A and B are shown apart, each in its own frame.
Chain A
Amino acid sequence: MPETEASDAAWSTAADIAAAVAAGRTTAESVVAATFARIRARDPLLNAFTAVTEERASARARALDQARARRETLPPLAGVPFAVKNLFDIAGLATLAGAKINRDAPPANADATVIQRLEAAGAILVGALNMGEYAYDFTGENIHDGPSHNPHDLKRMTGGSSGGSAAAVAGGLVPLALGSDTNGSIRVPSSLSGLFGLKPTFGRISRAGMFPFVASLDHAGPFARTARDLALTYDAMSGYDPDDPVCANLPAEPVTPLLDRGVTGLRIAVAGGYFKARTAEVLYAVDQVAAALGANRDIEIPEAERARAAAFVITMSEGGSLHLPRLRTRARDFDPAVRDRLIAGAMVPGALVTKAQKFRGWYRTEVLKLFAEVDAIVAPATPCTAPLIGQQMFTFGEAELPVRANLGIYTQPISFIGLPVVAVPVPLEPLPIGVQIIAAPWREDIALRIAHALEMKGVVAARRPPM
């Protein structure tokens, strides 16, 4: 394939690939072969992948092409390559969750539910992606596997913990990737790497086969370069899963057919107070999105700072509890930065964690009242654009704050109560930054419609990086 054609194919959307495969303009095998060629060529720069599943992917691609040759109707994502954060079970591979310790785990018996569903929709798994150790990370750095690199500037972090997922999609290796989001681990890398990312409602998408971090707060969700691709992926994964006790027993509610409804009639406000931007890029990005949506009122999310504190405490405590057996026997195999937080988390008095959960109940009630007045809330996704890999501090208004602990200051109060959020990329130069479109529980349709409308207006876009 000529280089220009190959490089264009790198940036094809999932929707376009599926359409091309269905129409016979290309084959699933050639899409997959080109994907692995790109991974071999570019992943040494991005460090997005920790494993590739070439044999499996090629077999699935052949099967799809044979189905097409038999004139069978292909499923909606037929031939679309995707990759997953390495905390999702992939049959035959140890589920790393970004950890050295997990390299010794036996291989997974079966794929995670979300992988099974995407493959049932015809998408083809091509590999597992780098992540922050045990997901306790906002940077995308990993002491064992190395940092993932931001395609917009390879010296900069992707954001985390779904760092490899962001690098793979933003870097044109795959059009779709899956990540997880506990306090911001889809939205932060989406923001820093210039992508669309969806953290769905808590309990919407199955977590079965996903290595946990914080049972109270974990979500699975997709990354893509368009809102439509995000919706297609979400639709393919949705639906009740009895294998996940947290998964809500609700029917799937397809969103893709609703995307073009636009935003007319939607009541949209901008989060003020705690969420008020303190850096020029963040302010500009939020203002651009708000203006495009006609969102001319502010809304105060009550006690957001306290919500962030409560999410912090619950995260440390549940994370510490989860890893206690490993901390007892293999503490030296952890990233020290992760280890010491988890150990401290195991030491937080239970009475305070219970209070944090009670506060969470109060906070949910109060925030849900806001959705009687609005359909969506606009808020920043990160307090800054992508820091340099290894950078310790960043400027936040008049203060200097530690990067690691504070990249999630805007995301944590939202995931704390499981609201659905689409992070939309504002294509600033030289570095993009994201904005959160926050909807009421179970209203992913509204958040995705807004994201799509912004994209159609040209206000948000997953800009192609210079690499």
Chain B
Amino acid sequence: MAYYEAICFWLSLVLYALASGGNIYALVFRNQKVVPKLLVLITVGFVVHSGAIAARYVAQGHMPWSADYENGLMGGWFIILCTLYVAWRQKPLRVLSVATVPTAMLIMGYGVMRNPTLAPMAATLKSFWLAIHVYFAWLSFGAYVLAMAAGVIYLLKERAVRERGQAPAEPVPGRFDDISPERLDELMFRYLVFGFITNAIMIAAGSIWAKDLWGSYWSWDPVETWSLISWLMYGAAIHLRVTMGWRGTRFSWLMIGALITVLINLFGVAVLMKTTVHVFRFS
């Protein structure tokens, strides 16, 4: 890690941690008044986080998009970016930060424990198609995290509704009261759809890149295999909703569970598989 990068990285983690603590407070004590202040904290954290990326860029001379630490750094950044974007577009969606910020912290924390050393850009990573591939991977990842967060809020809200014996469509005072369960349910689908389309672009671009790098579009390499698993999983989820009518609680659990496939895609391939074939002996 570069000097300023390390400072910014840890500072952003602290700010995100404070915001997450505040979110838990708001949740437990049913005090939503603090939520706008927490959003300010997250925004400051995001600016500092961007500083960490900029410092790394300056130190290395290329965008950080390889290996676990950089996956965590950029993945976390995209998650927060998506969170802030939806919160800016629609105030009630600020509440999604309850689940998205801890997810970003988790992957950043995991990444930093692995390999934050600075390295020049390997020739294998210099490709237009790879840039498209990585960019859309982050977008889809951010959208899937939002879908998961909407699922978490849906479940919390549903429990609150059950406790109070109110009809599900009615707002629950003190608990995310400006967003109805029906909206949350549809938001899950909307984020899922965005993630699914960007994920499809990511797979297509990755496969065109693979042809230039390894000579074939698809070789069932663990990385390729798992990204297909993850896409098919979300495809199955779309089917379950569109053709089998899955909604609400079941669909929320599906969105939370399906995110595991994405996390494995991000880190697990390196952890679970000791070898992926696509390495140059020379490199």
Answer yes or no: do A and B interact: no
Binding site for A on B (CB under 8 A): none
Binding site for B on A (CB under 8 A): none
